[in-house]
Structure 1
């Protein structure tokens, strides 16, 4: 089980490395990594378990955040309060954004990260819609279109796999300035 003290913090060099491609079939170690990263997200989104184990809630967790420099991330974007079905739930392996919208988007409350213990204020401008190609844990290739919050979460996790942190995308001179055509999403 992954706990908060297993999460690599900002400043650790692994967070700035480009992850290695994952080979298939998955090794037992990679299978366990995929399972434990998704389990962290599930547990962190359960208020009772999160309190019991001291977990910060998360919607994404990339392998570099647990010290493994590989192209693998777990994503669990919950659905609406009245719909328990997640908007997107998958372990994405060797993900590539094959196309994206011109329309930029940012979360109204900004972004956070399990690896960053301090708030960095400002809009993190990303693409509102993406087409994502990735492999699942069985090695099957998927190509899907995501928009709004699920698209932003996947872009955040893919940034981790490429050695970038969310605050790299904040305009340092004008952190809350957006282009006129930007969409601000309420989270």
Structure 2
């Protein structure tokens, strides 16, 4: 089981590398790793398990965050209608996105970043993501709101991009034009 000790911290070189594609069909080792990513995110949201193992709660995790430079992510969060959006994917990519932007009013956090970095992170309001599930089946997902933001955050990790790279350095809370402000529950 993954713990906070397995998660590399900001400044680790793997977080700035572009991750390698996973060769499909995925190996048993890669499937186990993808499953471990999802288990961490799910366990981190369970207060009892999180306390028992010292897990910081998260809604997404990418393989580079555990020092594996491969294109794998796990996302486990709810949308605005409280539907659970839960996917573990190999080689995810954004295949289309809205012109409209969105951002979390409270800003974004990251399991690899220990300190709070304040500011609005502009993202696309809607994205369509394509990837492959643990059974090597192609999956296409249309997302908006928090799940769309979470997927963009995790896919950024696969490209060596950190959330704070998107924050306006001169004016971190500068309103984002024509963007949807999303309050996180």
TM range (shorter): over 0.9
Checking the alignment, whether the CA contact within 8 Å between 2:105 and 2:183 is kept in structure 1 is yes
Match of residue 111 from structure 2: 114
Separation in structure 2 between the aligned mates of residue 33 and residue 128 of structure 1, nearest angstrom? 29
Kindly state the Cα deviation for residue 92 of structure 1 after the two structures are TM-superposed: 1.6
Structure 2 match to 1:69? 69
For 1:89 and 1:20, locate their aligned partners in 2 and report how far apart those are by CA, in whole Å.
Answer: 23
Residue correspondences, number: 184
| 1:19 matched residue in structure 2 | 19
Q: Is the 8 A contact 2:34 2:89 kept in 1?
A: no
Q: Aligned-pair distance for 1:180? A: 3.0
1: CA distance, partners of 2:57 / 2:45: 5
Give the superposition deviation at 1:178: 2.1
How far, CA to CA, are the matches of 1:89 and 1:30 in structure 2? 18
> What residue is the counterpart of 1:43 in the other structure?
43
4+ residue segments displaced more than 4 Å: none
Instruction: Determine the C-alpha separation between the residues in 2 that align with 1:136 and 1:64.
Output: 18
Q: Please provide the CA RMSD for this pair.
A: 1.4
TM-fit CA distance, 1:132: 0.9
2:125 is aligned with 1:128: yes
Match of 2:144 in 1: 147
SS, match of residue 41 in structure 2 = helix
- Once residues 180 and 2 of structure 1 are traced to their aligned partners in structure 2, the CA distance between those partners, rounded to angstroms, is 39
Q: Runs of 5+ in structure 2 lacking a partner?
A: none
Question: 1:103 is matched with which residue?
Answer: 100
- Post-superposition shift, 1:24? 1.4
Structure 1, unpaired ranges of 5+: none
1:71-117 Cα shifts (integer Å, max 9, x gaps): 0001101367x96x51x101121111111111111001000000000
Q: Give secondary structure in 1 for the equivalent of 2:14.
A: helix
Paired with 2:175 and 2:99, the residues of 1 have a C-alpha distance of: 14
For 1:58 and 1:149, the matched residues in 2 are separated by: 13
Q: Indicate whether 1:184 and 2:181 are aligned.
A: yes
